[in-house]
Structure 1
Amino acid sequence: MRGKLLFVAGAAVGFVLGARAGRERYDQLKEAATRAWQSPAVQKQVHAVEDFVAEKAGEFPDTVYITVKRAIVRANQRRREARAPYPPSPAAEAAIRQAERPGDTSS
């Protein structure tokens, strides 16, 4: 409860101070943020991140496929173990080992 009261009080103080600063100060802050975003140093980093994401996007589907396959195999294993009190069959153990291999895209 105390945290909520402090938050509301802080919001009220911020509102009052912001209202006193007015539209002129808002425009100044917006202008400064726009200049910072458009600076060559920031744009250089933005382009570097865009290039990195574009390069790695091709690897994404394989990663998702492998991760989902592992999750399904593990979920099926847990379901079978919960249903039957005996250990998994050798075929199930082999499927689990194969799904856990990094870079596995077979099946």
Structure 2
Amino acid sequence: MGSKMTFLAGAAVGYVLGSRAGRARYEEIKAKARSVLDDDRVQDVVETAKERAAEAAGAAGAAVRAKVGEVAGDAGTALKDKVTHAFHRDDDGHTPPPTMTTPPVAPTSGP
């Protein structure tokens, strides 16, 4: 039933947009479309579609929140590990000096 309604709605829109019948025909089509949209059966379908969309959006939102929480947790753990490693204290409570990643540049003699 849904695909039939979609087809009819698309056909009606195409006809209205492509029609050269004038304003009177446009108003007639518009009134017919309004009466179809106001039909209780159509409103039931619309309401059901809204409910299903809300349920799907809620489920999708929960999945996204879970994934974001997982990714954030992983990032937090990785950051904690890096900070802990960078500021690791030895058994005496001393923090070792940072390690250099590039060798120091030897001073050059002047001209």
Normalising by the smaller structure, the TM-score range is: 0.3 to 0.5
Greater radius of gyration (CA): 2
TM-score, normalised to structure 1, is 0.40
Structure scoring higher RCO (CA < 8 A, sep ≥ 6) equals: 1
Answer 1 or 2: which has greater helix percent.
Answer: 1
TM-score, normalised to structure 2, is 0.39
